[in-house]
Amino acid sequence: MTNPLSEDQEEDSKETEEQFLLEPTETKNGNRYVMVNTRLDYQHRSKELTTLCLYDFVGHLQKKVIDKSDRRLLKNVNEYEGKRLDTDGTKMNERHTFQSAHPQSSSHIIIKRTTPVVPVLLGPQIPRREREETHERYCRAILTLFVPWRTAQGLCAFNETWCEALEIRKSFMSSSSLKIIENIQLLHECKHDRGEHLQQVIAEAQNDSRIDPVLIPTCYGEDQNT
């Protein structure tokens, strides 16, 4: 019988639990279903996309099923190498094959979006940069999103902390990534200022005899990341 997890352990488990989707793929033995997610799509991207960070990969590219037009492009190439397809002379968007290790390399390709999108981050919020107790988690999140990688060891060596790894690999971040990182921090600061202002308003209202106490909030929980 296993012991129940503490609240902290349960929260850590939620942060590290990876989610997968069950999707179809074609193989030499017919169709079957495989477990895939964005992490696999990114890790097994083509060699021409090596310098692209995860945030930009999601924002500018997407996975699609290989159709007849794609198969014409694949005739003269090894579709499992993970390379950019030649679309010169066509109206097709930029296309790339997956590396052979990707479970859908024979049925899907990567295509450039006509209009880039802003990635939506799911799961735990990126912590504030200056919070000491969550700084390792902050560095890990920033590295994962904005530094190009294919393996975890490429982001952080076994003898490094996440903070050390971020300091060493900052030079790999693009100027646009650095701007997004600053905007993430700015959002935290705005939320913090908003919270302080609301608390001030509540305190003033409690001292104002002209306001019905029923209309004053009895509690106000501060965001753990502010």
Domain hosting 57: range is 19-112
6 has a pLDDT exceeding 50: no
pLDDT in tens, 147-203: 999 999 999 999 999 999 999 999 999 999 999 999 998 888 886 555 554 565 555
**What percent of the residues of the chain are helix, what percent strand, and what percent coil, each to the nearest 5?**
45, 15, 45
| 66: in domain | yes
Same domain, 141 and 183: yes
The token pair at 101 is 């290790």
Same domain, 103 and 140: no
Burial bucket for residue 168 (CB in 10 Å: 0-12, 13-18, 19+) = middle
Query: Residue 194 and residue 81: Cα distance in Å, rounded?
Result: 51
| 125: in domain | no
DSSP conformation letters of 41-57: HHHT--GGGTT--HHHH
| 159: in domain | yes
Element (H, E) at 144: helix 135-146
Amino acid 195: pLDDT: 52
Same domain, 102 and 152: no
C-beta of residue 128 within 8 angstroms of C-beta of residue 134: yes
| 92: in domain | yes
Number of domains in the chain: 2
Same domain, 104 and 143: no
| The most confident of 122-131, 141-150, 195-204, by mean pLDDT | 141-150
User: Rounded mean pLDDT of the chain?
Assistant: 83
| 8: in domain | no
pTM: 0.78
Q: How many CB atoms neighbour CB 57 within 10 A?
A: 19
Element (H, E) at 26: strand 21-27
pLDDT in tens, 146-156: 999 999 999 99
C-beta of residue 80 within 8 angstroms of C-beta of residue 90: no
Where is the domain boundary, 81, 112, 143? Answer: 112
8 has a pLDDT exceeding 50: no
| 119: in domain | no
211 has a pLDDT exceeding 80: no
At 76, is the pLDDT very low, low, confident or very high (cuts 50, 70, 90)? confident
Amino acid 226: pLDDT: 55
pLDDT in tens, 36-60: 999 999 999 999 999 999 999 999 9
| 51: in domain | yes
DSSP conformation letters of 85-135: ---TTS-PPPEEEPBTTSTTTTTEEEEE-SS--PPPPPSSPPPPTT-GGGH
